[in-house]
């Protein structure tokens, strides 16, 4: 193992970025193709529904890694200031830089690729940048949350997380079920205050895994929970489709929470990781690839949708191209002296 690196954390980070690229490739293909294809085959729809679950585990993985690594630390005034200067300041600057890069790139793409209109390209271009303000806010709060958690027993934190999870995940799920069956206006008003909402819960889950809260669960139980969550997500999306209900699988869906948590816990139990040098490579450049990949996604989409294959095959081809081009670009930029690490926020 490379010094100061945790093999299974690198594995989770590598899986997270690959699933993010996968969902962005799949989403792009299906969004563009939907203009021409009115009815996908059942197999194509199931692939799309499965891809949505696979893609939705990426952000929870990143957030649980954040909780695992950053919440179990000691913070004082000096360390808070250092953390903000080192981490938060860099994130803000990188967000501004890459927002400008994408704005300029958007102008070029809409001119050179007229088959994608400005609004559609803009939506696809910035579809991943919502993550940046969210994680910046979480980082700003991290030292205070870490200090607060140390005042309580792990069991107390776990009980509080259960209550917050019921509000953040179960209540919206019930509201969605009611709306699917024509029962509207029953959304309950609640406020999660300083909890960070669903994203804060994922971070706290990472902390609880670090503290061994779930170590007594059997490995097969977590594997079964992950499989069941995957199947339910597919079936629920298909059921919503049969009812002509516009349902978007997102991170507040309870079985995205359960599935990603179960998989994270399973990964945390791995003592060693096969092909670790490759895993470490994917992990090392993961955030850089997250920043870069949409620059390639938009120009490649019009080409990918014209391939003489089914939508799932097109999505897989686009996914592979995004992996190769994004990683090659990240490596090249990283090697630019006094510039690469900074613009890619690589530590």
Confidence class for position 124, pLDDT limits 50, 70, 90: low
- Collapse the DSSP code of 77 into the 3-class scheme (helix H, G, I; strand E, B; otherwise coil) and give the result: helix
Q: What is the pLDDT of residue 338?
A: 79
Confidence class for position 83, pLDDT limits 50, 70, 90: very high
Q: What is the pLDDT of residue 112?
A: 55
Q: What is the pLDDT of residue 119?
A: 47
Confidence class for position 235, pLDDT limits 50, 70, 90: very high
Q: What is the pLDDT of residue 193?
A: 65
Q: What is the mean pLDDT of residues 112-131?
A: 59
Residue 149 in tokens: 């958690």
Q: What is the pLDDT of residue 339?
A: 83
pTM of the model: 0.92
Residue 282 has pLDDT above 50, yes or no: yes
Averaged pLDDT score across all residues of the chain: 88
Q: What is the pLDDT of residue 40?
A: 81
Give the rounded percent of residues in the chain with a pLDDT score beyond 90: 65
- With contact defined as beta carbons under 8 Å apart, do 286 and 17 qualify? yes
> Dihedral of the CA atoms 23, 28, 29, 33 (nearest 10)?
140
DSSP 48-69: HHHHHHHHHTHHHHHHHHHHHH
Q: Give the whole-angstrom CA distance, residue 23 versus residue 43.
A: 17
Angle between helices 118-125 and 89-112 (to 10 degrees): 150
Q: What is the pLDDT of residue 114?
A: 53
Residue 110 has pLDDT above 60, yes or no: no
Residue 213 has pLDDT above 90, yes or no: yes
Confidence class for position 1, pLDDT limits 50, 70, 90: very low
DSSP 220-256: HHHHHHHHHHHHHHHHHHHHHHHTT------TTSHHH
Confidence class for position 118, pLDDT limits 50, 70, 90: very low
Q: What is the pLDDT of residue 37?
A: 60
Q: What confidence tens digit (pLDDT) does each residue in 19-52 have?
A: 999 999 998 888 777 655 667 888 999 999 999 9
Q: What confidence tens digit (pLDDT) does each residue in 186-208 have?
A: 666 666 666 678 999 999 999 99
């Amino acid at each position: 193992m490379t010094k100061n690196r945790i093999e299974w954390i690198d594995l989770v980070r590598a899986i997270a970025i690959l699933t993010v690229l996968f969902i962005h490739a799949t989403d792009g293909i299906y969004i563009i193709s939907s203009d021409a294809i009115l009815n996908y085959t059942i197999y194509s729809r199931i692939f799309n529904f499965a891809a949505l679950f696979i893609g939705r585990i990426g952000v929870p993985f990143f957030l649980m890694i954040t909780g695992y690594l950053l919440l179990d630390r000691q913070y004082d005034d000096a360390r808070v200031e250092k953390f903000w200067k080192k981490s938060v300041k860099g994130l803000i600057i990188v967000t501004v830089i890459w927002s400008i890069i994408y704005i300029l790139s958007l102008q070029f793409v809409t001119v050179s690729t007229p088959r994608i209109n400005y609004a559609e390209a803009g939506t696809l271009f910035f579809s991943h940048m919502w993550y940046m303000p969210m994680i910046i806010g979480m980082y700003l709060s991290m030292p205070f949350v870490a200090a607060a958690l140390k005042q309580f027993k792990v069991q107390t934190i776990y009980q509080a997380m259960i209550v917050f999870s019921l509000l953040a995940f179960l209540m919206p799920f019930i509201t969605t079920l009611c709306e699917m069956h024509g029962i509207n206006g029953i959304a309950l008003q609640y406020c999660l205050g300083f909890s960070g909402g669903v994203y804060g819960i994922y971070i706290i889950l990472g902390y609880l895994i670090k503290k061994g809260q779930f170590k007594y669960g059997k490995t097969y139980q977590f594997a079964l929970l992950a499989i069941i969550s995957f199947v339910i997500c597919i079936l629920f999306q298909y059921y919503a489709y049969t009812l002509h209900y516009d349902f978007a699988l997102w991170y507040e869906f309870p079985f995205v929470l359960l599935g990603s948590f179960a998989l994270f816990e399973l990964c945390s139990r791995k003592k060693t990781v096969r092909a670790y040098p490759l895993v470490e490579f994917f992990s090392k450049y993961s955030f850089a690839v997250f920043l870069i990949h949409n620059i390639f996604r938009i120009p490649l989409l019009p080409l990918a949708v014209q391939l003489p294959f089914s939508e799932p095959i097109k999505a897989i081809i686009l996914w592979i191209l995004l992996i190769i081009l994004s990683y090659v670009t990240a490596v090249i930029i990283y090697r630019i002296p006094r510039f690469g690490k900074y613009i890619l926020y690589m530590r």
